[in-house]
Chain A
Amino acid sequence: MTTGAGTLKDAMNEAMRDWVANVHDTYFLLGTVAGPHPYHAMVRDFQSVIGIEARAQILEAEGRLPDVVIASVGGGSNAMGIFHPFLDDPGVRLIGVEAAGRGLDSGETAASIERGKPGVLHGNRTYLLQDDDGQITEAHSISAGLDYPGIGPEHAWLHDIGRTEYVGITDDEALEAFQLCSRAEGIIPALECAHALAHIQKIAPTMAPDQIILMNLSGRGDKDIFTVAAHLGVKL
């Protein structure tokens, strides 16, 4: 990426430019549940395999549905994948964890729902980080996968009808959860997923011991060890 500011949204702009220029022999594929219809719906349907399997397996293992389903949200594909098969289960709380970056009110955040306003970008109407003039602002997160100033439009809708909840987790909180999971479980979570883990640390102590939390740990953190090391001041 050399155009614009070289961020994920610039890459999306460039993909669309390439697509319209080569529309006769090019297929547009976006890796998240955003963008023009019907692409976000297609990504949702393919991603929801994890939700269909998780719902069946928890019923088999526990004989009941989870109390909470939780996932991190950038564009929102892994969250939509796990949420979607639970949408018609009103007893299941669905929590999307946005990257608050340096803090929801720091001006350096990727929390589109919590700090964005409705607008139109990349062919969809959704919550966008933008200034008062409707110019799109850059998102910030320690995790490259959450570094997008918008969110899939279906998340925006689920938020508006109150079916899902969205919370913010900061870079520092995600870093702590990354380390805790690595030490305690021997699982290195992706920094994206560490945001959801950090929120679990917050809500689990408030829940009853027999309640069930289902989290979509959708990626491994091997790719993130250099980022984490740099933040912790460790030389690898």
Chain B
Amino acid sequence: MSRIKATFDALKHEGRGALIPFLEAYDPDAATSMAILEGMPSAGADLIEIGVPFTDPMADGPTIQAAGRRALKAGATLSRTLAMVHDFRQENDTTPIVLMGYLNPILAYDPARFCLDAACAGVDGLIVVDLPTEEADLLAGHAAENGLDMIRLVAPTTDDERLPIVLKGCSGFVYYVSITGVTGTRTATAGELAAAIPRIRAVTDLPIAVGFGVRTPAQAAAAVRVADGAVVASALIDTLANSLDEAGRARPDTVRRVLDQVRDLADAVRARVTTA
């Protein structure tokens, strides 16, 4: 069984949703992002999403754009991101890792070789933001051969006619982009989520994670009340960015501040068990 499925199954048994924190590989440097990655599971991360830096992150707001620029400056590449996951797996064989990024670095790497190397490094799933369903074959076969889940994005604009088409090749979980827009800008209301999630549930048995606009512990708790997981990205990166010195370097407390925030988010997501 894949780590993603095992994790969601276990959480369902526990009666709570997943906290899925995000970090950008190599932001602001290799060592700091590695320390954040390694610290996330014990801070309460159920799954971890790693952003693969790209020069032109079209779906990202200013916060993740800036993270990507810092990361590229620090030498981030797709193969170095895989190396991070490989290192993480030396100590952790249970927490699922999902890579989120854009198609062109994967094309440059070669889709077949990338899927093989990603699986060997210990990656569990892929979210490729600018790979539309119609072109997904270019990656889907290689991903399936190597046991990698292809996590598809569903947005408020994905209508009932398109929804089953998008979900057809989806595995692992469904990523619900809760707003029309880019990362870290707006937040969906509890009412919007309550209306949107059942519409997706009617079409798939896969777990549904909510992303884009989940910032606070309260918002994360609200998201897992209707969905199966909450992805928190820009809010964590804001904390990281605010902790840097004038030259953009990590300070001694950078890792701790980010992980403290993960802990607060995890507490809120887990508190649902007792308040339910």
Q: Does residue B117 face the partner (Cβ distance < 8 Å to A)?
A: no
The answer to whether B58 touches A13 (Cβ under 8 A) is: yes
Give chain B's interface residue range (CB within 8 Å of chain A).
Answer: 20 to 34
For window 79-125 of B, CB contacts with A under 8 Å fall at 79, 103-109
Q: Does A42 count as interface, using CB distance less than 8 angstroms?
A: no
The docked-state distance in angstroms from the alpha carbon of A187 to that of B9 is 72
- Interface centre among A13, A17, A23, A121, by most B CB within 10 Å? A17
Question: In this complex, which of B61, B104, B105 has the most chain A Cβ atoms within 10 angstroms of its Cβ?
Answer: B104
Whether A121 and B104, one on each chain, are in contact in the complex, defined by CB atoms closer than 8 angstroms, is yes
Nearest Cβ in chain A — how far from B202, in angstroms? 23
Complex-state Cα separation, A17 to B179, whole angstroms: 12
Nearest CB on B from A127, distance (A) = 12
Q: Which of A62-70, A86-94, A128-136, A193-201 contacts B (4 or more CB under 8 A)?
A: A128-136
> Would you call A106 an interface residue if the criterion is a C-beta within 8 Å of the partner chain's C-beta atoms?
no
- Interface SS of chain A: helix, strand, loop or mixed? mixed
Query: A13-B56, A17-B58, A136-B55 given as contacts; is B108 within 8 A of A24 (CB)?
Result: no
Selected from B72, B104, B179, the residue in CB contact (under 8 A) with A130 is B104
Asked if A134 contacts B107 (CB within 8 A), the reply is: yes
**A44 within 8 A of partner (CB):** no
A21 touches which of B57, B105, B106, B185 (Cβ 8 Å):
B185
Tell whether, in the assembled complex, residue B104 and residue A4 are in contact, meaning their CB atoms are under 8 Å apart: no
B180 contacts the other chain (Cβ, under 8 Å)? yes
* Interface residue ranges of B25-84 to A (CB < 8 Å): 54-62, 65, 69, 72, 77-79
Minimum CB–CB distance from A146 to chain B (whole Å) comes to: 19
Q: Are A20 and B180 in touch, CB under 8 angstroms?
A: yes
Which bucket holds chain A's interface residue count? 20 to 34
Distance between Cα atoms of A134 and B54 in the complex (Å): 8
B77 lies within 8 A of A133 (CB): yes
Known: A21-B181, A120-B130. A134 touches B78 (CB 8 A): yes
Distance A67 CA – B7 CA, assembled complex (angstroms) = 67
A21 near B180 with CB under 8 A, answer yes
A21 lies within 8 A of B104 (CB):
no
* B108 pairs with A133, CB closer than 8 A: yes
Residue of B nearest to A134 (CB): B108
- Please give, as numbers and ranges, the residues of chain B lying within 8 Å of A122 by CB-CB distance: 56, 58
A134 near B182 (CB under 8 angstroms)?
no
In the complex, the chain A residue whose C-beta lies closest to that of B155 is A20
> In the docked arrangement, what's the CA distance between A210 and B60, Å?
56
B270 to chain A minimum Cβ distance, whole angstroms, is 32
Contact of A120 among B59, B65, B104, B180 (CB under 8 A): B104
> Are A119 and B104 touching (Cβ within 8 A)?
yes
Interface centre among B79, B105, B108, B179 (most CB of A within 10 A): B108
* Contact of A4 with B180 at beta-carbon distance under 8 Å, contacts A17-B58, A23-B157, A134-B105 already known: no
Could you tell me if B181 and A135 are in contact, using CB atoms closer than 8 angstroms?
A: no
Complex contact A4–B65 (CB within 8 A) = yes
List chain A residues, Cβ under 8 A from B180.
20-24
Scoring B58, B72, B103, B182 by chain A CB atoms within 10 A of each residue's CB, the highest score goes to B58
Chain A residues with CB under 8 A of B104: 119-121, 128, 130, 134-136
Mark each residue of chain A from 3 to 22: 1 if its CB lies under 8 Å from any CB of chain B, else 0: 11000011001001100111
A135 with B62: in contact, given A121-B104, A130-B104 (CB under 8 Å)?
A: no
A233 CB-CB contact with B under 8 Å: no
A123 interface residue (CB < 8 Å to B): yes
**A117, closest chain B residue (CB):** B108
Q: How far is the CA of A22 from the CA of B180 in the complex (A)?
A: 7
Query: Does A134 lie within 8 Å of B185, measured CB to CB?
Result: no
Q: Top 8 closest A-B pairs, CB basis? A: A134-B108, A21-B181, A134-B105, A134-B104, A133-B77, A136-B55, A119-B104, A135-B55
- A–B complex contacts, Cβ < 8 Å, 27 sampled: A3-B62, A9-B56, A13-B57, A13-B58, A17-B58, A17-B181, A20-B59, A20-B180, A20-B181, A21-B185, A22-B180, A24-B180, A117-B108, A119-B104, A120-B104, A121-B56, A133-B78, A133-B79, A133-B105, A133-B109, A134-B54, A134-B78, A134-B104, A134-B109, A135-B104, A136-B104, A137-B55
B residues apposed to A, CB below 8 Å:
54-62, 65, 69, 72, 77-79, 103-109, 130, 157, 179-182, 185-186
Seen from chain A, the residues whose Cβ lies within 8 Å of a Cβ on chain B are 3-4, 9-10, 13, 16-17, 20-24, 117-123, 128, 130, 132-137
**What 16 new A-B contacts, CB under 8 Å, besides A10-B56, A17-B182, A134-B104?**
A3-B65, A4-B69, A9-B56, A16-B58, A121-B104, A122-B56, A130-B108, A133-B77, A133-B79, A133-B105, A133-B108, A134-B108, A135-B54, A135-B55, A135-B104, A137-B55
